Structure 1
Amino acid sequence: MSTQPATRYRGDFVAWTGVCGFIGEGGGAPIEPHSHYAIQLVLGAPAGLHVKLGRHGEWQACAAALVPSRAVHTIDVNDCDMSLVLFIEPETPEGKALATRLQHGPEFLDTDTVAVAAKRLERAWRFEKSYEAVQAVCMQLVRDLSGAASREPSDPRVLAAIDYIRQRVDESVSLPEVAKAVNLSPERFRHLFVEETGMPLRTYVLWRRLLHVWTLLMAGQNLSAAAHAAGFADAAHLSRTARTMFGLPPSVLQMRGPLSSQTREQQHLP
């Protein structure tokens, strides 16, 4: 575990269907041991990652770690030059494969397993400053570790439902309402949506709202404005939800990495 003074996290947010996460530097003091619904992949480069399992476990150094859904843990990334933390929905194809892999508990990964991905991530993040390049490396890493191919929704009715949800990210939407919008019965739509996205509609709606928050934070919005824009009652409501899904509140992460800085420059924002 780090003996150096904690430095404030500075990083960026990436996401695709069923997976999202943060890439950055710094970290701040380790948060309290916690658990969340998502499966977690954490990587520290070139070294310096420490992970603690359980509420009273010992800190362990590793190159990367896979943590199952609901497993109590905490991490310290202060000694890493760069860190990646990804959250994978358990009901996605990748999540199901990782859940099987992790049925006996968390897994520590050695340097050889993630070294190539770590170098590609740093190049894509620090030097290329490309959201798409970072996302592509992350997607490949998850595929390699899970043995499952990422699958984007393709059914036109589900694509129409996703568009309907995105246009109403700040509103409460129900399954019958979305099903009606795409001309399906609620029961048929329920099964089709899970089959195509790997998530129940309620989870997907919450996921989209949280993704919208992080996208707004990267673009320079403050926490309160981002919370309201994504349909949360206030910043406190957003923080409670983020703690449940990610184990930490948005306030501990500064979206000031190369990707978000580039977004602000394009929009002529400070």
Structure 2
Amino acid sequence: MQQTIRIKPGYILFRGSCIDAGEHQHIAMQVVWPDRDSTCTLAGLTFNNAVIIDSNTPHNLKMDSGWVLLVEPHSVLGECLKVQLSGQPLKVLSASTSLAPPQSKSGASTVFFKALSELIQGAQMFDNQLNTITDPRISRLLSELNSCFGGQCIKPLQWRAKEVAQKYHLSESRFLHLFSEQVGIAWRPYLLWRRMLCALLILQKGTSATEAAFSAGFSDSAHLSRTFKNTFGMTIRQAISLFKEQE
């Protein structure tokens, strides 16, 4: 089975076979969708249907073949996943479950079903600019972070909370509160997540772990490796082998 990995601002979309990720957790919400006649194992239980996992929920995953989508909670799709979870850390969707959430002023009523149906068809996923952010300063900050996905990675040397706050004429405490309120995630773990996406983009191009660590602002490749394993439940070597399988 050919492997497919797509990394865009705010989400990672992965299709593969023989997926085996040890216990890990991340800020992203997650949809695991096994292929027809395939299974996935989460928390020691085996499922044949789509499963939604809330952000920061420890889990491991084994799947014969299928899709994995990691998406940031502040996106419209993340909002739809929250509706489906209804406060649960994990939810298995029955085959008869409607994936379309209730109507909302954000227009989320069609996005959830459309995104997941396109995912299964291998169509182009929408970019994560479609989000629930209302403060223009936080929106500009996220857009700046997204520049990494345009091929011009910004090494995160000037991303301390105090410096970012000054840039947007806020106190550090006000910035940290505003960011958590708007994004639903504290600034430091969010920045670490985005640095991981940056490292993944660089690794996907065939560069070394050392170069990826330097470009994404990690102290060394060992630091990147530890963070990578804690975030994705697999080693960098395992990830690189998946990249090579899609060539």
Q: Quick check: TM above 0.5?
A: yes
- Whether 1:77 aligns to 2:63 is yes
1:109 is matched with which residue: 72, 79, 93? 93
Q: Percent identity?
A: 22
Q: Distance in 2 between matches of 1:175 and 1:60?
A: 42
SS at match of 1:183: coil
- Distance in 1 between residues matched to 2:83 and 2:210, nearest whole Å: 35
Please give the TM-score of this superposition, normalised by the length of structure 2.
Answer: 0.70
Offset, 1:87: 4.7
Q: Select the residue among 71, 86, 93 that pairs with 2:70.
A: 86
| Distance in structure 1 (CA, Å) of the matches to 2:6 and 2:23 | 23
Q: Which residue, 147, 158, 163 being the options, matches 2:138?
A: 158
Q: What CA deviation, in whole Å up to 9, does each residue of 1:81-113 have, x standing for no partner?
A: x32232544x77736962883544522123344
Q: In the aligned structure 2, how far is the partner of 1:207 from the partner of 1:100?
A: 24
CA distance in 2, matches of 1:193, 1:70: 17
Q: Which stretches in structure 1 are left out of the alignment for 5+ residues?
A: 1-6, 126-132, 140-148, 262-270
Contact 1:45 1:118 in 2 (8 A): no
Q: Which residue of 1 aligns with 2:182?
A: 196
Letter in 2 for 1:85: L
Aligned to 1:32, what secondary structure does the other structure show? strand
Deviation at 1:118, TM superposition (A): 5.6
Say which SS state the counterpart of residue 237 (structure 1) adopts: helix
Aligned-partner SS, 1:255: helix
Matched with 1:32 is 22
Q: Equivalent of 1:98, from 79, 82, 102?
A: 82
Aligned residues: 223
Structure 2 unaligned residues grouped into runs of 5+: 100-112, 148-152
Q: In 1, Cα distance between the equivalents of 2:54 and 2:139?
A: 29
Letter in 1 for 2:12: G
Query: What root-mean-square deviation, in Å, do the aligned CA atoms of Structure 1 and Structure 2 show?
Result: 3.6
Aligned AA (2:184): G
Question: Residues 39 and 67 of structure 1 are in contact (CA less than 8 Å); yes or no, is this contact kept in structure 2?
Answer: yes
Which residue of structure 1 lines up, in the alignment, with residue 220 of structure 2?
Answer: 234
CA distance in 2, matches of 1:199, 1:13: 23
2:33 to 40, 43, 62: 43
- C-alpha separation in 1, matches of 2:89 and 2:115: 23
Would the alpha carbon gap of residues 135 and 234 (structure 1) be closer, same or farther in structure 2, given more than 3 Å must change?
Answer: farther
Deviates more, 1:180-189 or 1:222-231: 180-189
The normalised TM-score by structure 1 is 0.65
Q: C-alpha separation between the residues in 2 aligned to 1:49 and 1:107?
A: 15
The residue aligned with 1:247 is: 233
Match of residue 4 from structure 1:
none
